[in-house]
Amino acid sequence: MSENDIKPSNFIHQIIEDDLNNGVHNKVVTRFPPEPNGYLHIGHAKSICLNFGTAERFGGVCNLRFDDTNPEKESQEYIDSIISDVSWLGFKWDGDIRYTSDYFDELYGYAVHLIREGKAYVCDLSPVEAKDYRGDFTTPGRNSPYRDRSVEENLELFEKMKNGGFEPGSCALRAKIDMAAPNMNLRDPMLYRILNMSHHQTGDKWCIYPIYDFAHGQSDALEGITHSICTLEFEDHRPLYDWFIENLPVPARPRQYEFGRLNINYTVTSKRKLKQLVDDAVVTSWDDPRMPTISGLRRRGYTPASVRNFCDAIGVTRSNGTVDMGMLEAAIRDDLDKNAPRAMCVTRPLKVTITNYPENQEEWFELPKHPKDETMGVRTVPFTRNLLIEQEDFAEVPPRKWKRLTQGVAVRLRGAYVITCEEVIKDADDNVVELKCTYDPATKGANPEGYKPKGVIHWVSADNSVPCEVRLYDRLFTEANPDADKERNFMEFVNPESLVVLSDARAEIGLKGTAPETGFQFERTGYFNVDKTSTEERLVFNRTVGLRDSWAKVQQK
């Protein structure tokens, strides 16, 4: 693609186009720098699509670099999940996976450089004292009493910090900038703190670890990043990012650009709060299908294309905003409508006996796998005397405009015969447990003569179908913004109906042995995905999304 073919689709692309046209850069290099302290969520998906997608758009490259400067909260599990998420979305990083810890030696050297230049010092203030000295938005900070230590003393103390000579919290290395700066981030920020703990990449080599603000820009510079794209909360950190770049002998001069982060209603995207949901067993895991994590969306049945299309649709702006969950659901509904094969599954079975059909007879009907895509081929479904239909497809006292089954009324079974309900069987508690019906043999592939069926319903053979568990997932919270009420904990708004498990469902026999992450449209029901806990003997289906946005209708009532 030539530069003339590239049309900027957002303000960041416009900046990059101008940089390329003006010779500021001749190649675009971006990076995605997740912190491995949790699983990635849908907000990260937007950042992934922006960073990797921008590099692809302009013929550049994107690095995957883990910001692993805090071993207290990081783990290999999180690293593995992030790698899997980025790959699943369909993106490829340039070269090997990178870690900020790859540059710990260089970062330490940069810190020593600042000390030698009189621009950094070891401060013995406790965390509480340092906070007091920092001031606030209306009060300027005060210089630390340790700010004027000599270069020699600071070099000696920093070396001792590195070698484990101090307890955690007893001292820290700080930049010497301006304690009266209006931007709080410039009030002598911390560069290194003491953490006497092992690191998942570097082992026990280090007793001190760099702060994100110090490590990030220098890592960008060492990798030759041209456009460091991050979310809007880092806008106030940009002057500090630039200060480090200007005051250190780094090999490149990257620039930071901020965009509005993605928030979606009826969920939370704070890693701390997502972890609380896991730790408190509100959900089963980070990849619980109710979670807004990429792995949760994947397990629920979202596709890479749907997530990428959603991120493209919401765009990139300079302001934060909240997107309606319905937009994300519309993206997957649109993708699966075109690409998911059809099948029939009865989620709440009601027995139907076809009294005039031979007891031992079995007939196979051929149905399309997709009504609009013949290339998908066909599937075969067995028809027997004993069938199952949805409980909700029968009504003893039908409401107005009822188009399903009731006593004395005929309906067509999808792709098969027209049947008429002749008798209703109930148990001792007056619950309907069986319907005695007759079928019209002349309606195989033809309309009946002399009468008209009320509607079409789906079904499966009770004798030859697959037992399965169906998990109906819904919004995780009952409130659009669970964080809005500062007087109440967000956990109070967890939706008790966010998961309904139907354990007696039955699906077409052809679905037996279907592999996990295979999606279907269950006709008249919704879109479903085979869960990773499925076995050949018992399938487990997660509802990805309904055929229509029923949640919006409920909220409008």
Rounded-to-integer distance, Cα 140 and Cα 438, Å: 86
Q: Which amino acid is at 236?
A: D
Query: C-alpha distances in angstroms, 443 versus 437, 458, 487?
Result: 15, 16, 63
Look at residue 555 and tell me whether its pLDDT is greater than 60. Answer: no
Look at residue 557 and tell me whether its pLDDT is greater than 90. Answer: no
Catalytic residue among 46, 149, 162, 271: 271
CB 335 within 8 A of CB 30: no
Hey, how many other C-beta atoms are within 10 angstroms of the C-beta on 333?
A: 21
- What are the start and end residues of each CATH 2.40.240.10 domain in the chain? 271-342+468-556, 345-458
Q: Checking DSSP bridges between strand 29-32 and strand 539-546, what pairing results, if any?
A: unpaired
Look at residue 364 and tell me whether its pLDDT is greater than 80. Answer: yes
pLDDT of residue 485: 87
- CATH of the domain spanning 271-342+468-556: 2.40.240.10
Q: What mean pLDDT comes out for the span 335-343?
A: 98
Rounded-to-integer distance, Cα 116 and Cα 124, Å: 19
The beta strands (E) that lie in 290-356 are given as 321-323, 342-343, 345-346, 349-354
| Residue 426 CB-density burial (10 A; 0-12 exposed, 13-18 middle, 19+ buried) | exposed
Instruction: Tell me if residue 100 falls in helix, strand or coil.
Output: helix
Instruction: Read off the tokens for 104.
Output: 């710990």
Q: What mean pLDDT comes out for the span 486-511?
A: 96
Look at residue 67 and tell me whether its pLDDT is greater than 70. Answer: yes
Q: What mean pLDDT comes out for the span 514-519?
A: 97
pTM of the predicted structure, to 2 decimals: 0.93
Look at residue 218 and tell me whether its pLDDT is greater than 70. Answer: yes
CB 264 within 8 A of CB 322: yes
Which residue blocks in 135-270 are alpha helix, DSSP H? 151-162, 212-223, 238-247
Catalytic residue among 134, 261, 333, 543: 261
Instruction: Tell me if residue 367 falls in helix, strand or coil.
Output: strand
pLDDT band per the 50, 70, 90 thresholds, residue 1: very low
Rounded-to-integer distance, Cα 52 and Cα 39, Å: 19
pLDDT in tens, 286-332: 999 999 999 999 999 999 999 999 999 999 999 998 999 999 999 99
Q: What mean pLDDT comes out for the span 411-427?
A: 97
Q: What mean pLDDT comes out for the span 523-550?
A: 93
* CA 46 to the chain's CA centroid: 10
- The full DSSP string for 385-434 is SEEEEEGGGB-SSPPTT--SB-BT-EEEETTS-EEEEEEEEE-TTS-EEE
Q: What mean pLDDT comes out for the span 521-530?
A: 97
Rounded-to-integer distance, Cα 467 and Cα 111, Å: 63
pLDDT in tens, 246-288: 999 999 999 999 999 999 999 999 999 999 999 999 999 999 9
Say which residue, 230 or 536, is predicted with more confidence.
230
pLDDT band per the 50, 70, 90 thresholds, residue 45: very high
pLDDT band per the 50, 70, 90 thresholds, residue 374: very high
Torsion over CA of 74, 274, 220 and 310, rounded to 10 degrees?
Answer: 140
Query: Is 261 a known active-site residue?
Result: yes
Q: What mean pLDDT comes out for the span 398-409?
A: 94
Rounded-to-integer distance, Cα 68 and Cα 63, Å: 15
Q: What is the DSSP letter of 494?
A: B
pLDDT of residue 428: 96
| Residue 486 CB-density burial (10 A; 0-12 exposed, 13-18 middle, 19+ buried) | exposed
Query: Is 271 a known active-site residue?
Result: yes
CB 258 within 8 A of CB 232: yes
pLDDT in tens, 440-455: 999 998 999 999 999 9
Q: Which long-range contacts (CB under 8 A, 24 or more apart) does 15-19 make?
A: 15/227, 15/257, 16/54, 16/58, 16/227, 17/58, 19/226, 19/227
Q: What is the mean pLDDT of the chain?
A: 95
| Helices and strands of the chain, counted as H and E runs | 13, 27
**Phi and psi (nearest 5°) for 400?**
-60, 140
Residues 6 or more apart whose CB falls under 8 angstroms from that of 242 comprise: 217, 256
- CATH of the domain spanning 24-259: 3.40.50.620
Look at residue 345 and tell me whether its pLDDT is greater than 90. Answer: yes
pLDDT band per the 50, 70, 90 thresholds, residue 460: very high
Look at residue 34 and tell me whether its pLDDT is greater than 90. Answer: yes
> Would you identify the CATH topology of the domain 345-458?
Ribosomal Protein L25; Chain P (2.40.240)
Sign of CA dihedral 46, 52, 55, 59: negative
Rounded-to-integer distance, Cα 420 and Cα 412, Å: 9
Report the phi/psi class of residue 95: left, alpha or beta, with left for phi > 0 and alpha for psi in -120 to 50.
left
Percent of the chain beyond pLDDT 70?
97
- What are the start and end residues of each CATH 3.40.50.620 domain in the chain? 24-259
**Selection from 86, 97, 34 nearest residue 63 by Cα:** 97
pLDDT of residue 556: 47
CB 275 within 8 A of CB 246: no
Residues 6 or more apart whose CB falls under 8 angstroms from that of 45 comprise: 85, 89, 262, 294, 307, 311
| Residue 247 CB-density burial (10 A; 0-12 exposed, 13-18 middle, 19+ buried) | middle
The beta strands (E) that lie in 271-362 are given as 321-323, 342-343, 345-346, 349-354
Catalytic residue among 35, 159, 235, 434: 35
pLDDT in tens, 128-172: 999 999 999 999 999 999 999 999 999 999 999 999 999 999 999
At which residue do the structure tokens 């009493």 appear? 145
pLDDT of residue 128: 95
Percent of the chain beyond pLDDT 90?
94
Element housing 108 (H / E): helix 104-116
The beta strands (E) that lie in 219-333 are given as 227-231, 255-259, 262-264, 321-323
Rounded-to-integer distance, Cα 220 and Cα 254, Å: 7
**Phi and psi (nearest 5°) for 159?**
-60, -40
